[in-house]
Structure 1
Amino acid sequence: MELTSIPGVGEKTAASLRELDDPERALRDGDVSALARASGISEGRAARIARGAIRARHDDPGGFTATARARELHRDALELLKDRTVTDYAAKRLETLYPSGVQSRIDEVRAFAREAMEHDPTDAVLDALEAVEPLDEPSDVHVRDRCLATQDAETYSRAREAVPELSVELVEDTRQLSELARGYSTVIALDEAFAGTDLEGDVRVEPDALDDPESVVPERTLSFFAHNRETLQAAAAVHREADLDPPCDLDTLDGALDRLDSDGAVRGDEDLDRLNAALASLDGAVEEAERLANDHLRNAIEERDVTIEGGDLLSLVERGAGVDSLLQRELAEEYATAIRKAREQFVDALDLEDTVSLANRVFEEEPTFPVEHDEQALSRLREELTATRDRRAGRRKREVADELAGLQADCRELVDRALELDVELAVARFAEAFDCTMPEFGGDGFAIEGGRSPLLDVAFEAVESVDYRVEGVALLSGVNSGGKTSTLDLVGLVVTLAHMGLPVPAEYARVERIDELHYHAKTQGTLDAGAFESTLREFGNLVTSVSEQRSVLVLVDELESITEPGASANIMAGILEALDERGATAVFVSHLAREIIDAADTELAVDGIQADGIEDGELIVDRTPVKGQLARSTPELIVEKLAEDRTAEDGFYDALLEKF
């Protein structure tokens, strides 16, 4: 796909998208989260780009929602769906759903929605989804125990780019390579020239190392799994609870994840644990061994009588001998015992059977009091333990990374399926919450049976159902607060959802496939001359755009408020006549229905939301419009109620009633 062919994507945006791992997949799948990771692209823009890619794929010109209120209905529909998502990904992914007049796009989403409605969104699945989010590549992986080395400047540059997690060093000869080995537990030489040379330390000659960076830096793979541990475990739980067929063996994945710490270190290796424990306890073990040796010597000295003849004492003094010489002469055996105990204590405490010789050097046999460890020997032991630990950790990391690397692609699919399931469950939950059905397409106009609007500010269970059908143009009349606007909203929402390919809140619905929805909401107050002219131009353009090749649905709520009532009636009559002549479907809500009918040169259909009367100051209304009947007004109902009261003997209210 040529990125710049997508509506709204220029060269700069295309360059940002190309930085993604797989921009075509993200565009194809509508992966808004992935698109938003591109430089300079917000989540809102990512959703628009994804919709643009979909439109390009279906050759969809867009423009279905032709007015502000029509666009509001689309947003309202999306919010109802997004309210039923668990993950941020699903909420963003739903932004790619939009109403379209192109049959292929409608059919694509209808197929998705039908499958989605088959799901059972259990609490266990929804709970598991709470911890699922798109996989993330850790960006803070730095390895300090090994380095790459090369003699070649070009190889040096390539290594720095391919393996940024490691230090890369330029060396001239084997001497410098050996020096590096004293500072790192492992050095990986990238030049064939170093092969066969005898080098100190752990120096590996691997000329092909850059062809497989993961073998050089297994931490790259391990960090990915450690960083995404909770998401992977949650995605596995989603598959188990939803009884989905996973792309990999979940028990194998769980076992592999259990072998990693949160920082990517390998767990469950006894030798590694022993070496780590030894290094952590090294200083404390030295102090304890010193204390044990000194306690033994102190007790020995206190319990023994040491006799030195005058000549011997004079000889020792003349030679400048001190307590060490006395210890060597009089307590040599006890000192040897003290050192032996110190060494045994030190080795046992740290479990250093494989480095006994090096550990023993920490406590020399030359008598001193108090007994003190050899700091240089302790440093050498620390270095040896560190190098041994790092080499073993490196081997174990490579082993586990090799095992996990084979799961990485499947794990991505595992998470993707869980996230997509949340999108599907949102549709299923929406359909269940609002008693939805999949609408039919065909015929002229629309037909809705048992429709209930979820947009009303009352509990959905309390919403009265509405049946309404229109073919051609119709006037919808009714009393104030009788439900005219909510009926218009219901029609607009059903048509919008149907063209999004989604289920609609009705027992049955049939809609004509249209290219544009024009919904003109109620105008607040009379328009000034400029705004009035602009409104007329808008309707003029609308009327002239209707043709056999481009069908529209027009919904208008109380257009009469734009100017004087008499002029409004004439204008609306003319608009309805023009729309009727062109075969459009339109519903105009108006309190001037009688005046519009009188002003029209052709017969116009009129429907009425009827009020049966007033009880305790409240209207009793049948919300379903009655075909072919003009609704009575609220004032007429009030006058009728007063006339029936019969408290006025002069017939005043009867006379008023006759005026209607």
Structure 2
Amino acid sequence: MELTAIPGVGEKTADALQALDDPERALERGDVATLARAPGISSGRAARIARGAIRANYDDPGEFVATPRAREIYQDVLALLQERTVTDYATHRLETLYPSASRARIEDIRERTRQAMDKEPAAEVLDALDGVEPLSEPTDRRIRDRCLATQDAETYAHARDVIPEVSVELVDNARKLSELARGYATVVVLDESFARTDVDGDVRIEPDALENPSAVVPERTLGFFAHNRDRLQAAARVHRTAGLDPSCDLDSLETALDRLDTDGAVRGDEELDRLTTAVNDIDAAVSQAERVANDHLRDAIEERDVTIDGTDLLSLVERGAGVDSLLQRELADEYDAAVEQARDALVETLNLRETEAIARRAFGDDPAYPVEHDEEVVNRLRTELTAARDRRATRQKRELASDLAGMRTDCQQLVECALELDVDLAISRFARDFDCTMPTVGGDGFTIEGGRSPLLDVAFEDVEPVDYEVSGVTLLSGVNSGGKTSMLDLVALIVTLTHMGLPVPAEHARVARTGELQYHAKNQGTLDAGAFESTLREFGELTTSISEDRPVLVLVDELESITEPGASANIMAGILEALAERDATAVFVSHLASEIREVAETELAVDGIEASGIADGELLVDRTPVKGRLARSTPELIVEKLADENVAESDFYAGLLEKF
């Protein structure tokens, strides 16, 4: 996919997207969360880029929502869906759903929607989804216990690029290689020429190491899985709870993850734990061994019956007077026993095995008091234990990394499946919360049966269901606060959802395929000359843009407010005539329906939202429009009410009624 071919993606944005591991895949999936990780790309920008890629894929011209009010309806729909997500991913992912004029796009989403509506948004599944996030790479880390070695400058440069986590050293002889082996637990040599070189330490000749970096730096794989462990475990819980077919063996994955520490270290290996504990405890163990020896020797000195009183001897010894000779002459056996106890204590405390012989040399045979360790021997013991620990850790890391490396793609799919389930469950919850059904796409105009808008400021269960059907151009009349604007909102909502491929809040709905939704909200007050001219230009462009290939649905709320009432009726009649000539579908809400119909040269359909009367100051309204009926106005209903209630003034009110 050519990134710059995507609408809204220029060279700068394309360069930012190239920083991702697989931008093409993210674009194909509409993966907003991944796209938003590109440098300088916000979540909102990522959603627009993803939508642009989808439109390009479906050859969709876009711009279905053609007016500010139409865009508001779409944003309201999107918000209702996003409120029903658990993960941030699903929230962003839903932004790639948009109303489209493309048959293929609508049908593809409708197919997914049908499957989503069959899924049960059980509470335990939603709980399991909490904690699932897209997998991400950990920050770069340095590995300091091993290095790469080569005598070739080009190989050196290539190695630094391929495996930046470890040091790369230039060596030209065995002496320098030996120096590296003393400074690093493991040296990986990239040149075959060193194959016959005899060097002490863990030196590995691996000319092909750069072809498999994970073998040299298993921390790369382990770091990825450790960094994403919680997300993977959460995704596994989602699959188990929801009964999904996982892309990998969950038991094997969870067992491997249990062996990982948060920093990517391997846990659960007894030998590695033994060596790690020994390295960590060596100083404390040496001090403890010294105390054991000195306590034994002190007790022996105090209790020993020698030429001088034991207490005096102890005093002399503590002042350092003739210690060596006194110990050699009087306490040689006791000193040997004390040293042996120190050696045993050190070996036992550190649970030493292969390095036991070194540890025993930490306390010498020459009598001295107090007994002290040989620092040079202890340092050697520390070096040997550290090297053994690091070698063991590296082997364990390589083995575990080898097991996990082959699971990476499957784990990516595991998480993606869980995240996409959240998208599906948001659709399912939307459909269930608002009693939605899948609409039929086709025919002319629209038909709505038992439609209820979730956008009203009342509880959804309290919304009165309405029916409405329009084919062609129609004027919608009705009393103030009778629900005319709410009816337009409901129509716009259902048309928008239908072209998003989503279910609609109605018992039944049929919507003609539409290329553009023109919803013009009510203007506040009369427009000035410039705004009035601009509004007329918009309708002029609209009427000339309608075609069989791109049908338009026009919803207009009280356009008469743009200018004086008399002129408004003439203008609206002209607009409706032009729309009728082009076989457009349009609903114009107006209080001037009667006047418009009178001046129009084409017969215009008029529907009415009827009020049966007034009770306690409130209108009694049937909010389903009556076909072919001009609804009475609120003033007429009030005059009629007064005529019925006031017998004395009945003639006055009767006269007023005749004016309507």
Q: TM-score, normalised by structure 2?
A: 0.97
What is the rounded CA distance, in whole Å, between the counterparts of 1:450 and 1:324 in structure 2?
A: 107
2:323 is matched with which residue?
Answer: 323
Q: Identify the range of structure 1 (14-23 vs 57-66) with the bigger mean alpha-carbon deviation.
A: 14-23
Once the 2 structures are TM-superposed, how far is the Cα of residue 650 of structure 1 from its aligned partner?
5.8
Question: Does the 8 Å CA contact 2:643/2:649 hold for their aligned counterparts?
Answer: no
2:207 aligns to what SS in structure 1? coil
Aligned pairs for 1:634-645 (under 5 A) are: 634-645=634-645
Once the 2 structures are TM-superposed, how far is the Cα of residue 140 of structure 1 from its aligned partner?
2.9
What is the rounded CA distance, in whole Å, between the counterparts of 1:559 and 1:437 in structure 2?
A: 33
Q: Identify the range of structure 1 (70-79 vs 638-647) with the bigger mean alpha-carbon deviation.
A: 638-647
What letter matches 1:475 in structure 2? L
1:448 is matched with which residue?
Answer: 448
What is the rounded CA distance, in whole Å, between the counterparts of 1:548 and 1:273 in structure 2?
A: 76
Per-residue CA shift, 1:618-657, capped at 9, x if unaligned?
A: 1111110111111111111111111111253463222222
What is the rounded CA distance, in whole Å, between the counterparts of 1:341 and 1:22 in structure 2?
A: 63
Question: Does the 8 Å CA contact 2:133/2:231 hold for their aligned counterparts?
Answer: yes
Post-superposition, which runs of at least 4 consecutive aligned residues in structure 1 deviate over 3 A? 647-650
2:335 is matched with which residue?
Answer: 335
Once the 2 structures are TM-superposed, how far is the Cα of residue 92 of structure 1 from its aligned partner?
0.9
Question: Does the 8 Å CA contact 2:643/2:650 hold for their aligned counterparts?
Answer: no
Task: Say what the alpha-carbon RMSD is for the aligned residues.
Answer: 1.6
1:18 is matched with which residue?
Answer: 18
2:355 aligns to what SS in structure 1? helix
What is the rounded CA distance, in whole Å, between the counterparts of 1:167 and 1:135 in structure 2?
A: 28
Q: Identify the range of structure 1 (38-47 vs 413-422) with the bigger mean alpha-carbon deviation.
A: 38-47
What is the rounded CA distance, in whole Å, between the counterparts of 1:480 and 1:363 in structure 2?
A: 102
What letter matches 2:471 in structure 1? E
Aligned pairs for 1:498-647 (under 5 A) are: 498-646=498-646
Aligned pairs for 1:463-482 (under 5 A) are: 463-482=463-482
What is the rounded CA distance, in whole Å, between the counterparts of 1:307 and 1:635 in structure 2?
A: 131
What letter matches 1:208 in structure 2? D
What is the rounded CA distance, in whole Å, between the counterparts of 1:54 and 1:189 in structure 2?
A: 49
Aligned pairs for 1:75-224 (under 5 A) are: 75-224=75-224
1:518 aligns to what SS in structure 2? strand
2:367 aligns to what SS in structure 1? coil
What is the rounded CA distance, in whole Å, between the counterparts of 1:77 and 1:434 in structure 2?
A: 12
2:230 is matched with which residue?
Answer: 230
What letter matches 1:535 in structure 2? T
2:606 aligns to what SS in structure 1? strand
Once the 2 structures are TM-superposed, how far is the Cα of residue 69 of structure 1 from its aligned partner?
0.9
What is the rounded CA distance, in whole Å, between the counterparts of 2:283 and 2:39 in structure 1?
A: 49
What is the rounded CA distance, in whole Å, between the counterparts of 1:321 and 1:460 in structure 2?
A: 98
Q: Identify the range of structure 1 (117-126 vs 16-25) with the bigger mean alpha-carbon deviation.
A: 16-25
What letter matches 1:77 in structure 2? V
1:405 is matched with which residue?
Answer: 405
Mapped pair 1:373 → 2:384 = no
What is the rounded CA distance, in whole Å, between the counterparts of 1:153 and 1:504 in structure 2?
A: 67
What letter matches 2:231 in structure 1? T
Question: Does the 8 Å CA contact 2:292/2:338 hold for their aligned counterparts?
Answer: yes
Question: Does the 8 Å CA contact 2:644/2:650 hold for their aligned counterparts?
Answer: no
1:392 aligns to what SS in structure 2? helix
Question: Does the 8 Å CA contact 2:85/2:91 hold for their aligned counterparts?
Answer: yes
2:144 aligns to what SS in structure 1? coil
1:33 is matched with which residue?
Answer: 33
Question: Does the 8 Å CA contact 2:113/2:501 hold for their aligned counterparts?
Answer: yes
Per-residue CA shift, 1:345-369, capped at 9, x if unaligned?
A: 1111111133211111111121111
1:55 aligns to what SS in structure 2? helix
What letter matches 2:592 in structure 1? L
What is the rounded CA distance, in whole Å, between the counterparts of 1:245 and 1:549 in structure 2?
A: 43
1:360 is matched with which residue?
Answer: 360
Per-residue CA shift, 1:24-55, capped at 9, x if unaligned?
A: 21111111112222222222121111111111
What letter matches 1:525 in structure 2? G
What letter matches 1:35 in structure 2? L
2:390 is matched with which residue?
Answer: 390
2:595 aligns to what SS in structure 1? helix
2:175 aligns to what SS in structure 1? helix
What letter matches 1:24 in structure 2? E
Once the 2 structures are TM-superposed, how far is the Cα of residue 228 of structure 1 from its aligned partner?
0.5
1:467 aligns to what SS in structure 2? strand
What letter matches 1:31 in structure 2? D
What is the rounded CA distance, in whole Å, between the counterparts of 2:556 and 2:614 in structure 1?
A: 28
Once the 2 structures are TM-superposed, how far is the Cα of residue 112 of structure 1 from its aligned partner?
1.1
What is the rounded CA distance, in whole Å, between the counterparts of 1:647 and 1:196 in structure 2?
A: 123
Once the 2 structures are TM-superposed, how far is the Cα of residue 61 of structure 1 from its aligned partner?
1.2
Per-residue CA shift, 1:305-345, capped at 9, x if unaligned?
A: 22169xxx9xx99xx97212211111111111111111111
Q: Identify the range of structure 1 (427-436 vs 299-308) with the bigger mean alpha-carbon deviation.
A: 299-308
What letter matches 2:181 in structure 1? A
1:483 is matched with which residue?
Answer: 483
Once the 2 structures are TM-superposed, how far is the Cα of residue 105 of structure 1 from its aligned partner?
1.0
What letter matches 2:11 in structure 1? E
Identity %: 72
What is the rounded CA distance, in whole Å, between the counterparts of 2:18 and 2:263 in structure 1?
A: 30
Per-residue CA shift, 1:116-165, capped at 9, x if unaligned?
A: 11111111111111110000111233211101111111111100110011
What is the rounded CA distance, in whole Å, between the counterparts of 2:340 and 2:130 in structure 1?
A: 59
What is the rounded CA distance, in whole Å, between the counterparts of 2:379 and 2:172 in structure 1?
A: 29
1:241 is matched with which residue?
Answer: 241
What letter matches 2:338 in structure 1? A
What letter matches 1:387 in structure 2? A
Question: Does the 8 Å CA contact 2:226/2:264 hold for their aligned counterparts?
Answer: yes
What is the rounded CA distance, in whole Å, between the counterparts of 1:174 and 1:459 in structure 2?
A: 82
Q: Identify the range of structure 1 (503-512 vs 546-555) with the bigger mean alpha-carbon deviation.
A: 546-555
What is the rounded CA distance, in whole Å, between the counterparts of 1:240 and 1:329 in structure 2?
A: 76
